[in-house]
Amino acid sequence: MTLMYLGQPEVAIPHIVKAIRLNPHDPNIANYYLPLGQCHLFLGHVDQAIDLLRKARAANPRLYYLHLHLAGALGIKGDLDEARTALAEGMKLKPEIDSLIRWRALFPWGNPKYWTLIESTIAAGLRRAGLSEE
């Protein structure tokens, strides 16, 4: 995941895949599918990213950020009804996330390259799903 936060999704993918392969029944498997999905989204593999983010959400639907990341990916794809539903589920679990500014404040890590990738994918998709900037 560190490689993903450094803005190197293509380098991160094999490591995350290996972690999943080595421990497929990890109770925190959702937190492996999430960065794997993000990496694929950053590389433009939108359908694959959505599949992985759905797996993450299915593994632990109580984690608000899984819903938000899925909403962003669905927004990028243009599946706005489903994106809005996922966004609403995330906001229901974490009501204080009512804007992109508040969402960003909860995830302060990553370098500028990572944040450029976030802005062009997940944040753009969340905007399309209806999350306000402020």
Residue 27 confidence (pLDDT): 96
Mean pLDDT of the region 24-52 = 97
Confidence of residue 71 (pLDDT cuts 50, 70, 90): very high
Looking at residue 121, its amino acid is T
Question: pLDDT digits over 92-109, tens only?
Answer: 999 999 999 999 998 888
The fourth-level CATH superfamily of domain 2-129 is: Tetratricopeptide repeat domain (1.25.40.10)
CA dihedral over 20, 24, 29, 30, signed as positive or negative: positive
Residue 39 confidence (pLDDT): 98
The pTM score is 0.95
DSSP state of 92: H
Confidence of residue 74 (pLDDT cuts 50, 70, 90): very high
- Residue 125 makes CB contacts below 8 A (sequence gap 6+) with 71, 72, 73, 74, 75, 76, 77, 83
Distance CA 81, CA 106 (A): 25
Residue 35 confidence (pLDDT): 97
